[in-house]
Amino acid sequence: MGSNEARDLFQAQTHLYKHIFNFASSMSLKCAVQLGIPDVIDRHGEPISLPELVTALQLHPDKTGYVQRLMRLMVHSGFFATIHVCRNQDEEEEEAYDLTTSSRLLLKDKVPSMLPFVTAMLDPALTTPWQFLGNWFCGNEVTPFETAHGMGLWEYGHKNPGFNRVFNEAMASDSGMMNLVIKDCKPNFEGLSSLVDVGGGTGKVARILCEAFPNLKCTVLELPQVVANLQDSANLKFIAGDMFHAIPPADAILLKLTLHALSDEECLKVLKKCREAIPDNGKGKVIIIDIVINEEGDEHESTEAKLFFDMLMMVVVTGRERREKEWEKLILEAGFSKYQITPIFGLRSLIEVYP
């Protein structure tokens, strides 16, 4: 065997190792969040040394070496940074940990925060179904989630209030990122007097829109168990219902990360109900905020994240992420005449759909 061939094989082995142990990054991130490391560093007010971190975490000094190894991986993955500091002239420099932009998104009481999203997505209820993916391909269950738990995601959430609460908090935290881009989306919402947020969870996006557009009347349509204890306000109300049966009439219907959880057949049903709900006076529209896969135009990391979401939709629900041609097919088949896609920050795009 030539040296080039051997080198290629070892590179392939490294590639395999990386993907075999990708879960180590996720589980280490979960551990860092459970320990509250981002908040400890934030409260410290400056980069924190390893001994200071162990003390602040109230861990036994015997764990110091293990914390260092955890942090080494987290630094390599970009969740924390290391700098060398010298506390006074008589001491040698020591390594200290600082937050990065990613870990600032994991602070508990800051806005926006993705902490609930990390907690929910790495909950055993959502990680266990991946162990059943191969079995599912050979079985008859609708999703690997059903193979693992004997029921679908929504039924599981209904029967497990603790998980349902964590899941809804995760969706709200993800929606909170809308605050960062709502000013860039103003032309898409200005001029509307009413809007229905279909599958809008606990109303995080609707509240953001109500604050940005005080004259806009928003309605959140959700499952009864989601909106059971939520209070209406002056320009926001909650309605328990089923989007497959009826959607209240409004100038605009908002579908944020709703359609990607549905099959094409289910999407068509919902989009047709949306078509019935908006006026035919040329002012009505459907606003979809969702992922559009674009392997040719996106950076590698963005495409990889979108493909991860696509697999997640396959594992836990009946949905998928779609390319523009696939979105176009659904939109036209549902009875709409045109659409416009505007990429917004992050993985999502805003798709305006017109009768």
Question: Which of the residues are catalytic?
Answer: 260
Contact 153, 312 (CB under 8 A): no
140 Cβ contact partners less than 8 Å away, ≥ 6 residues apart: none
Round to whole Å and give the CA distance between 35 and 300: 31
Return the H-helix or E-strand segment holding 118.
helix 115-121
Helices marked H in 143-277: 144-149, 153-159, 161-176, 186-189, 204-212, 224-227, 264-277
Contact 346, 292 (CB under 8 A): no
DSSP structural state of residue 167? H
Tokens standing for residue 231:
């209070």
Q: Which two tokens stand for residue 302?
A: 């963005």
> CA geometry: angle at 180 spanning 175 and 185, to 5°?
90
Rounded Cα distance between 339 and 337, Å, is 7
What does the DSSP 8-state code read for residue 42?
H
CA 249/CA 151 separation, integer angstroms: 33
